[in-house]
Amino acid sequence: MNSLKSQGFAPVVSDLKKDGSEWTVKEKIMLGLSPKEYWAVQLRNPFNWVLWAIYAIGVPILVGRFIFGLGWVTHSSYDYPWGLFLGWGLFTMVPLSASGFMMGTTVELFGRKDFKSIERLGLLNGLLGYLFAVVFLQVDLGQPWRLIYPMFVSLGPAAVLFLVAWHVATYLTCQVAELVPAFSEWMGFPKAKKFIKSIVLGLTIAGIILSTLHQGALGALFTYAPGKVHPLWYSSPFQWLHFFVSAVFAGLSMLIVVSTLTKWFMRWRCDENYLSNLSKLTLGLAKGASMALITYLVIKIIGIAHDNNWAYLLTGWGAWFMFEMVVGVILPLIFYTMAVRNSNASLARFAAILAVFGIALNRLNTALIAFNWQLYREIPHWRELVIVFTVYATYIVVYRAVLARMPILYTWKEKK
Amino acid sequence: MKKLNRRSFLKGGLAGGAAIAAVGTSKQALAGTHNFGGYPDSMGVLVDLTKCVGCRTCEAACNKEQNLPEPDKSFDDPSVFEERREGGLPRRTTEKAYTVVQKYDVPGREHPLFRKVQCNHCNEPACLTSCFVNAYKKTPEGAVIYDKTVCVGCRTCMVACPFYIPAYSYSSPTNPVIKKCIMCYDTRLKFGRPPACVEACPQEVMTFGKRKDLLKLAHQRISDKPDAYVDHVYGENEVGGTAWMYLSDVPFDKIGYDTHLGTQPIISYVKEFLGMVPMVLTIWPALFTGFHLLSNRKDAAKNEENKS
Amino acid sequence: MGGRKKTLLGMAALMLLTAPLAAQSWAAEGPGTVELGSLANYYSAVTFDHAMHTGVAASCAECHHHTTGLAPTDPNCARCHKAGDKANSVACKSCHSDKRFSAEDLAKIEGNPQLHHKGKLGLKGAYHQKCLGCHTAMGGPTGCQDCHTRNDKGDAIFHSGKYAPAPGASDGHGGGH
């Protein structure tokens, strides 16, 4: 598409074509290309070939999971009831999607209108991350059709997961609402946008509350397993705080990573406003992320001091923990700080990749690797891995599809 | 039912998470420091590991009583004791076996020690407190039972159980549920009868009775024969106390028992977060609206400056 | 010793209700063989060679505690029970309940706060702990079927014999790890 644009292709940016007639919905979905052109573009894209390869293997296995049960795709472990579906799909995807409430807060609450051009990407990153976390959850639940049981059928309100369920559900709704303006512009429903604008402050504050609680709650889920999670990754009083604060830099870093990807691979879809502001905004996000990183580092140290876990640092687990902290927290912190000081957006982008890796490592450590640290390590079944790739590929497909169409990376030109 | 107050307090606080209704919980919060010590007349089982000969009759009786699937090997086949699951660990409870006997060769002990494993039926069960569909119930008789018709299959209870007891029927694609010992509640305990394993045991390794009486009995046995037992009744205080308790002549940590579980019920480790929930719900809206007004005020001031 | 012999006779008669012909020969102190069958369920009754065991045991008190009138061998019992502390019946089942942990059994214990032997074994536990304990120490047979053969019902519950699972029946799943 980038090459198409350099050849003079103009993507949809308003209700009207160049000649003054209106785009039909079908044309909008086809990105303003003729069906023939559209499919030709899709076929040319080598990334799509990779996706097709993943689907060729992954879809049958995903279907098989629902026909033959979880026992067919996982090791049916009683000791490790949670595998990659939750370790990656829920515990990693959710913090990486904290960008939604972060950007909402920055722009709508603190009035930093200068972040406006990246706000929608932050919101979308949030929405899709949560949506696919729920998809992963549905793959993992033994009886996914009972998902609404905790809401309406049999309530266990004193359980942490009850809170997660309710908050993720309400927050998803909240995020859909926050993205209604983008959708309404694209589809031409101005009323919906107006309505959301009138309640945006309420939505944003609800988003903060819900995010604080469920990001924290995902951490608190592990406080049910005091003896199972390695002490370096466990802290009864601070677990929720560790998860919440790390979600802040995780969300911001993920936003930097995604915006970098859009800058490279979807440049055709970005408008001047977005592209020209991106480096400056990346540094702004980097600043926020470095604040969260230093806070996180300090409360992690407090966590170790509180439970007097220093001795564990000298063990093999300690070395692994230090690796996570150095590569996933301290290095990004240093690089982010240097990037902000020297206005070096590229360095901030590198720091963001490290931070995203660090958060994934932290969540996988807590949920899988340092879980049952006194027993044995669970190596996921290959089919489990294939399903994770398949669902994540779908996440990317949907992400890309929305970015290519709705006014996320560009500003919609309103009818005069 | 003053003892239940903390749980209902937490319920109140968390229910507020859905409907911002943290009002009216403060009175109960005062009672929130109490621990639920268990139902006063609940039943329990005292297992004297020194008496077990590893005949696995309990496993056979459990299989029959609970209508469990056919075992992989006969119940009189001692080769199961040598079976090792991942990590070199002895076999554990599964969806096909609610109780298993493990064998430990203890250095210096003339004969191997056999250990029966099944749900310990905690006074304040982690599975129960972690379940978001309220599937679990601690009955006044002492059993921890569950309602499989509401189980969603999130398996948090398996994560939460400090004893690694609940198993899951992964093999079922359409109706996978948690599988664990229910102390024969439906067929026996409810009617005042001992669990099938207790009744079947030829050695009377297990003594069935009121938990409080069993505790006295356990300590009496230790004091009667101080050389025959280590001075510890496992389950008396572990994670807030369990209905099934154990006597042994070998230190418990040498025979697979986790002796670092502490005496607090698992839910107490989650309390810090649960207590914070109503705070966030009430403080955050005001706090962030305040932030918003403050940052708007700056804008407003700027606008006025620009005007003048 | 005539009175004691009568008691023993009575006890033997009680125990032999199921197999009255079992006790044929008499040693000096007690029955020759005893058929222990009151609990038989998954196993056949045990034909207990009492005469042989009286020859092996150092004292009747090894099994009968203080009830035969001899001094108990367990020093813990000896704190209260002295020699001559005879019981009306020396049969195991006159003291050890064959309905241990039944509601009645539990109520009986509960209803008597002064009761010292609160944890007294039931009949099955008493038999097995006594027999197996000694057999283990003395090198006697300890296998279940060394003393009583398992019947069809027993094979069924143990999934053994003709009820044994087919080898390799496990599908590899569901075992978990």
Q: What is the pLDDT of residue A116?
A: 87
Q: For C30-55, how does the pLDDT look when each residue is reduced to its tens digit (9 = 90+)? A: 788 888 888 888 999 999 999 988 88
Split into its structural domains, chain C has a count of 1
Residue pair A297/A325 in contact (Cβ under 8 Å)? The answer is yes
Calculate how close chain B gets to C6, using CA atoms only, in Å.
Answer: 31
pLDDT digits (tens, 9 = 90+) for A258-304: 999 999 999 989 988 999 999 999 999 999 999 999 999 999 999 99
pLDDT of residue B29: 40
Q: What is the pLDDT of residues A198-244, one digit of tens each?
A: 888 888 888 888 888 999 999 999 999 998 999 999 999 999 999 99
Element (H, E) at B210: strand B206-210
CB proximity list for A368: less than 8 A, separation 6 or greater: A80, A82, A83, A84, A87, A378
At residue A189, does pLDDT exceed 50?
yes
Q: Given an 8 Å threshold on Cβ–Cβ distance, is C158 in contact with B217?
A: no
In a domain, C61, yes or no: yes
Helix H or strand E segment including B247: strand B244-247
Using the Cβ of B86 and the Cβ atoms of chain C, whether some distance falls under 8 Å is answered with yes
Burial class (CB in 10 A: 0-12, 13-18, 19+), A291: middle
pLDDT reported for residue B296: 74
Q: CB–CB of B109/B250 below 8 Å?
A: yes
Q: Is residue C176 part of a domain?
A: no
CB < 8 Å to B175, chain A = 143
- B51·C102 Cβ contact <8 A: no
| The pLDDT value given to residue A415 | 66
Query: Tokens 């031409």 correspond to what residue?
Result: A188
CA distance A20 to A248: 44
Establish, for the pair of chains A and B, how many residue pairs have beta carbons separated by less than 8 Å. Answer: 210
Give the helix/strand (H/E) hosting C8: helix C2-15
Q: ipTM of the predicted structure? A: 0.90
Give me the residues of A, 156-215, that contact B with CB < 8 A: 156-167, 170, 201, 204-205, 208-209, 212-213
Nearest to B202 among C128, C157, C174 (CB): C128
First to last CA, chain A: 29
Alpha-helix residue ranges (DSSP H) falling in A97-221: 99-104, 116-140, 160-187, 190-220
Q: Which residue has the tokens 């008493």?
A: C126
Q: Which sequence spans correspond to the domains of chain A? A: 45-405
pLDDT value for B299: 66
pLDDT digits (tens, 9 = 90+) for B210-227: 999 999 999 999 998 999
Q: Nearest-CA distance from C117 to chain B in Å?
A: 10
Is position C82 within any domain? yes
List the domains of chain B with CATH numbers.
1-36+266-308 (no CATH), 40-264 (3.30.70.20)
Residue A182 DSSP SS3: helix
Q: Please name the residue of chain B whose CA is at the shortest distance from the CA of residue A206.
A: B285
**Residue B25 predicted with pLDDT over 60:** no
Residues C158, B171: C-beta atoms closer than 8 Å: no
SS3 of residue A376 by DSSP? coil
d(CA A210, CA A218) in angstroms, rounded, equals 12
Q: Which residues of C57-96 are buried (b: 16+ CB within 10 A; e: fewer)?
A: eeebbbbbbbbbbbebbeeeeeeebeeebebeebbbbbbb
User: What does A156-180 look like in DSSP terms, one character per residue?
Assistant: -TTSHHHHHHHHHHHHHHHHHHHHH
Give the pLDDT score at B24: 36
Contacts of C175 in chain A (CB under 8 A): 76
Element (H, E) at C132: helix C123-138
Residue B273 to residue A223, Cβ atoms within 8 A? yes
Which 3 state secondary structure label does DSSP give B138?
strand
Which residues from A are below 8 Å from B94, CB to CB? 78
Contact: C177, A71; criterion CB under 8 Å: no
- Whole-angstrom Cα distance, residue B124 to residue A104? 41
Q: How far apart are CA A289 and CA A281, in angstroms?
A: 12
Confidence of residue B300 (pLDDT cuts 50, 70, 90): low
Looking at the domain covering A45-405, what would its CATH class be? mainly alpha
Question: Chain C: residue nearest A76 by CA?
Answer: C176
- Hey, CA dihedral for A82, A87, A93, A94, is it positive or negative? positive
Residue C169 lies in a domain: no
**CATH number assigned to the domain comprising residue C91:** 3.90.10.10
Smallest CA–CA separation between A376 and chain B, in Å? 5
pLDDT at residue C159 in the model = 94
